[in-house]
Amino acid sequence: MRRLTQALCLAGLIGILAFYWRDPFDSGRLAGARVLLTGASGGIGEEMAYHYSSLHAELVITARKEAALQKVMEKCLELGARKVLYIPADMSLPQDPERVMQFAVQELGGLDYVVLNHIGETPYRMWEGDVDHMRWLMQVNFLSYVALASATLPALAKSKGSLLVVSSLTGKIPTPYTTSYSATKFALEGFFGSLRHELIMRGVDVSITLCILGLVDTKSAMEKIKGVVLSMPVASANEAALTIIKGGVSRAREIYYPWWVKPLCHLKDWFPDQQDWVLRSFYNYSRA
């Protein structure tokens, strides 16, 4: 009887673990889905474009570099996308978010997913008082996100769709050498967190998923931190892209990638001094 009880307890534990570790992602839900994806010419955005394509979605991709977009579009079609179009756009220009939205809705006939992923180039160094760059970066990394979300909400409300906002660990925890970038990501947290409340209160069935990413092995990120970051876990851009897509399908409130980002975010309120010391230990001060 004792062995039977132990076996039942073990089976129960395995069942509980299997329940929490299961992957509920239903890839079939993306077949034919209409997706607007920004920042798609490289890095995580490019990887997302390929994942969506292999799952047979319809895509409008956008970024500044037209030649790079064309190459991504060609590969998307090879991977199985039902439809792919691109539109070059510069998100530092206030009129471009509306132009991109109109193009996407017209060409796809509506929107099911809007993925806001683009970022402006910013130096990886200590704050030197460049307020003009801060204004420009806020336009690209924050205000254009607000403009795109506002412009696409009617289409998403009609389809009961999802808005995915790609953010960063630096939007939860201030880190060295990212002063301007961190400010823009904190702004995303405030705006889209408030917007989520308002949509629910108004009965608008549009989900907002905030995507909190750690250091990812994109070419631009690796070049920036060279010689400055001494040791920090680096995660896969391909896996980050898939995690974001899964979060949108499941209509998650937030997703974290890689796994250690979530506990680190929670620890900031419990052990702030210790966390700050650990963060600073990752960096080479002399190379900043």
Point out the residues that are catalytic: 181
Amino acid at 73: M
What distance lies between CA 281 and its chain's CA centroid? 26
CA torsion, ordered 125, 127, 132, 133, to nearest 10 deg: 20
DSSP 93-143: STTHHHHHHHHHHHHHSS-SEEEE--------S-----HHHHHHHHIIIII
Residues 6+ apart with CB under 8 A from 117: 37, 38, 39, 40, 44, 45, 48, 164, 166
Is 227 strand, coil or helix? coil
CA–CA–CA angle 151, 153, 55 (5° rounding): 105
Residues 6+ apart with CB under 8 A from 154: none
Amino acid at 259: W
Extract the tokens encoding 227: 């010689």
